[in-house]
Structure 1
Amino acid sequence: MISSSKLKAIDFYRKIPRDLTEASLTGAGFSIIAAFAIIFLFGMEVSSYLTVATTTTVVVDRSKNGEHLRIDFNVSFPRLSCEFLSVDVHDVLGTVRQNITKTVRKYPIDTNFRRVGQDIHVGHLPAITNHGDQPGEGELAVGDGEGAFELTVENFERYSHEFPILLVNYYAEWCVYSQRLKPSWEKAAQILHERYNPDDDGRILLAKVDCAAAKNTMLCRSHHIQGYPSIRIFRKGQDIRDQYGHYDHESYYGERDSDSLVTFAEKLVEATTDTGTPALEDKSAVDNSTVKRPAPKSGGCRVEGFALVKKVPGSIVMAARSTSHSFDAAKINMSHYVQSFSFGRKLSYRMAKEVYRLYPILDNVQESLTGRMYTSPHENVTFDHYLQAVKTEVVSLKSSKDFKLLEEYSYVAHSAELQTGEVPVAKFQYELSPMQVLVSEASKSFSHFLTNLCAIIGGVFTVAGLIDSMLHNAIRMVRKVELGKQY
């Protein structure tokens, strides 16, 4: 066995007997300073160790070709009805998708952006093949060529309350679809007049409103007519007055030849009692969603949802669109409020918190469009937004696979207004940067942390001891000199 005396021989830290040491005030002062310095540097080192360390690089975005990107949006149009509001997607590869509906919802709103009804989640408007009678089929039984009753702002309310069923054609003389509908509408009106004489029977009346006439501008606007021709169905005793003072009614989207119009009108009559209330057992006979739908309750619309697009330059276009209606560009106002517009899948709260922990600069980035109102003082103005987006990938060291790789997009937008002779739109053109920002969390070595702590403690202790020793020797030398001068 190795004796204790031999073990003592390898002692690196030889002890000096306490009786041979001398305490001094300078040594005590330096000891206090050294202790505070050690505590301060120890705290700074611990804080540095706990601080997140990341490395940021700019690399080429190597996403696979054909990979799709999600674009979320929530945009309100206070002067564009949900009836015709369409969301279209285009890109430079030739992809064209018009009026996407599966991932989009629409909510009617008033001019103050308040919801006035339930969400409207309908598909495309029915495709109309017969926009009117073919030549020779629209000849009227009476030679004057006028069968539908002309309504104006002065007499509309009276007739809408007088007849159990009122079918109204809102038209414009310049509209080609209105011109094609006119013969069949007049013929159907005369046929129904003969079968249900307003003076004797009075169960139905076919009427028309000229929205191009200045005197009817307010009437058409109050009924939210934005496309021509628009056929509305008013039922006395069945319409429900809402909190805004309007009656609920429906729009007709079926075929526009005289036979189809007469057949539809007769089914409405058959499903209505003499008192004007619907016969519930027969209501299903005309409850066909491909022919009629609820009419818009307001002149505004909020559209929200998302679109999956390819990672190539493209655009999302929001506009009034229909294959069987005409629009007056001079009366379409595309003013809108962007509540949100973002790229990429939405992160959960935990994921977003992790992203901002590693890359807090993203938490302070305000998207250029979000929360902004784009207003035009007059109609017929197209709003063009050009968006440049860049992707940021954040690589976390957390063990969960959901936190391994997080993606976040930021963008800048440049907006412009343009007045043209075409129907105005709100266009969001986007372009994705070929580069991306890669943020990786850097791991810290615990052994390196311990080494730094030892270096701090030993270094401060050693430096303070050297300074104290030098100062002590200097004082002794000064005293010796003073003593030498005295003798």
Structure 2
Amino acid sequence: MISPTKFKSVDFYRKIPRDLTEASLSGAGLSIVAALIMMLLFGMELSHYLEVNTTTAVIVDKSTDGDFLRIDFNISFPALSCEFASVDVSDVLGTNRMNITKTVRKFPIDPHLRTTGAEFHSGHGLHDINHGEEIKEEFPDGAIPFTNASFEVFSHHFPIMVVNFNAPWCYWSNRLKPSWEKAATIIKQRYDPATDGRVLLGNVDCTEEAALCRRNHIQGYPSIRIFRKGSDLREDHGHHEHESYYGDRDTDSIVKMIDGLVAPIHPETHKLALEGISNDTSKHLKKAPVAGGCRVEGYVRVKKVPGNLVISANSGAHSFDTSQMNMSHVVTHLSFGRIISRRLLTDMRRLLPYLGQSHDRLEEKAFINQHDLGANVTIEHYLQIVKTEVITRRYGQEHSVIEEYEYTAHSSVAQTYYLPVAKFHFELSPMQILITENPKSFSHFITNLCAIIGGVFTVAGILDSILHNSIRLIKKVELGKNI
């Protein structure tokens, strides 16, 4: 057994009896200053330890998220009707997907981008409309040609008014004309406007009555609209709440549709009973947009090769006046890859400065077709996409924290001989940015902490010794003693 006396001999910190020590004001002040410095240095060292230390490298893209890329978007078109708004994607491998609807939603909006109605759902397939046999013989004009003035008079007189908005140069308008005129003749004989007065068929030439067509938001020809007396006016700014017909365009189909509209109306009272319309007729009817704009939102999945996301007016059974098409738009959101949740962004806030937050470079930007550019203007965006991945090392292992796609965008406007579109051309970089988070060693933090405490304590002791001896020396000189 080692005796206590011998064990005490290894003590590094020999104690001086308290009676032999002396406290001083200078020592007390220096001790307080030393303690404050220790606290300050401790806080700085702790802050440095908690900071994210990262290294950035550019490497060949080693994506682990598959061969497809998700594109999320929310884009508003103040002058493109939801009736014809089409989202298409294509790529250099020959993939072409037209009028995507499964993952895309459309909402009618006013010129101030405010939603004016419920989500717009496409009606009858516009590419499969039956126009009947092409008839070359002329039919008597049963449909009344409307002007701006006569339209207002008749719309307040007849319970049902079915109007064909057309253009003489339009191929589809000319295809419809024989069937429409024949149907108008049959309806006029069956429901004489002078004696029956329940329904009236009419035509509007949009090249002659441009203001009337604009007021009813006609963007594609021909457009068949149904106006109901007593229900076609809204309190909200006086918009017409009418319907569009999306069914077949042969004579029999048009007559059958009108018969279904007229059936619930008593010929004497002219009162409309909307609930009495047959399902066979109503399935081809849908409320027409009350405003001329559309907000297109949703997502599409594309291959990871250069390609295009195109939004335009599209219909297999309508024609468009390219000089009147305006593809001005406001990009509310456009991002590539999976969406980072707000909760994840909050948890990973320390990493945001290293990500750059550039995955929404077009967010809240407006691209407006100025009047001095003229008509037929296509707006194109060229997007260079690069993947950014953040990796953290915890507990000796690497974990991928965030994978996102950032992009830079360059936009331009150009006149075209074809139908104007809004085109987003995207191209993925073969390289990716790898940001690695390197956590600091806890042992290094403790070592630095000990160095701070020991170093400040030692330096303070030296200063205290110098100060104490200097004061004693000054006192001796004042007393006249020799050194």
State the partner residue of 1:110.
110
Per mean C-alpha deviation after superposition, the further-off stretch among 433-442 and 383-392 is 433-442
State the partner residue of 1:456.
452
Distance 1:325 1:296, change over 3 A: same
* Distance in 1, Cα, partners of 2:121 & 2:244: 16
2:165 aligned with 1:167: no
Pick from 437, 442, 445: which aligns with 1:441? Answer: 437
Distance 1:61 1:417, change over 3 A: same
Distance 1:398 1:295, change over 3 A: farther
State the partner residue of 1:247.
240
Output one character per residue of 1:268-319: Cα deviation in whole Å (capped at 9) or x when no partner. 2224332334446741244443x22211111111112222222222221111
Pick from 400, 420, 424: which aligns with 1:428? Answer: 424
State the partner residue of 2:330.
337
Map 1:204-215 onto structure 2 (within 5 A).
204-213=199-208
Shift of 1:266: 2.3
State the partner residue of 1:310.
303
2:381 aligned with 1:385: yes
CA contact (8 A) 2:256 2:281 kept: no
Distance 1:67 1:411, change over 3 A: same
Shift of 1:333: 0.8
Map 1:279-290 onto structure 2 (within 5 A).
279=273, 282-289=276-283
Shift of 1:248: 1.6
Distance 1:281 1:447, change over 3 A: closer
Per mean C-alpha deviation after superposition, the further-off stretch among 409-418 and 319-328 is 409-418
Q: Percent identity?
A: 57
Distance 1:158 1:15, change over 3 A: same
Shift of 1:477: 10
2:350 aligned with 1:357: yes
Pick from 159, 176, 180: which aligns with 2:171? Answer: 176
Distance 1:188 1:122, change over 3 A: closer
Distance 1:148 1:412, change over 3 A: same
CA contact (8 A) 1:242 1:248 kept: no
Map 1:26-425 onto structure 2 (within 5 A).
31-64=31-64, 66-122=66-122, 125-134=125-134, 137=135, 139-140=137-138, 145-213=140-208, 216-274=209-267, 275-279=269-273, 282-289=276-283, 291-362=284-355, 365=358, 367-378=360-371, 379-396=375-392, 405-425=401-421
Distance 1:345 1:276, change over 3 A: farther
Per mean C-alpha deviation after superposition, the further-off stretch among 356-365 and 452-461 is 356-365
Q: Please, what TM-score do these two structures have when normalized by structure 2?
A: 0.88
* Distance in 2, Cα, partners of 1:223 & 1:277: 24
SS class of match (1:155):
helix
Per mean C-alpha deviation after superposition, the further-off stretch among 422-431 and 263-272 is 263-272
Shift of 1:460: 2.5
Distance 1:303 1:358, change over 3 A: same
Shift of 1:377: 2.5
Distance 1:18 1:205, change over 3 A: closer
* Distance in 2, Cα, partners of 1:347 & 1:65: 14
Distance 1:260 1:19, change over 3 A: closer
* Distance in 1, Cα, partners of 2:476 & 2:239: 109
Shift of 1:385: 0.9
2:12 aligned with 1:12: yes
Shift of 1:31: 4.5
Shift of 1:169: 1.0
The code of the aligned residue for 1:198 comes to P
CA contact (8 A) 1:67 1:310 kept: yes
SS class of match (2:227):
strand
CA contact (8 A) 1:128 1:254 kept: no
Shift of 1:22: 7.0
SS class of match (1:239):
coil
The code of the aligned residue for 1:232 comes to R
SS class of match (1:440):
strand
CA contact (8 A) 2:384 2:408 kept: yes
Distance 1:415 1:131, change over 3 A: same
* Distance in 1, Cα, partners of 2:354 & 2:401: 18
| Structure 2 portions without partners, runs of 5+ | none
Alignment RMSD (CA, Å):
3.2
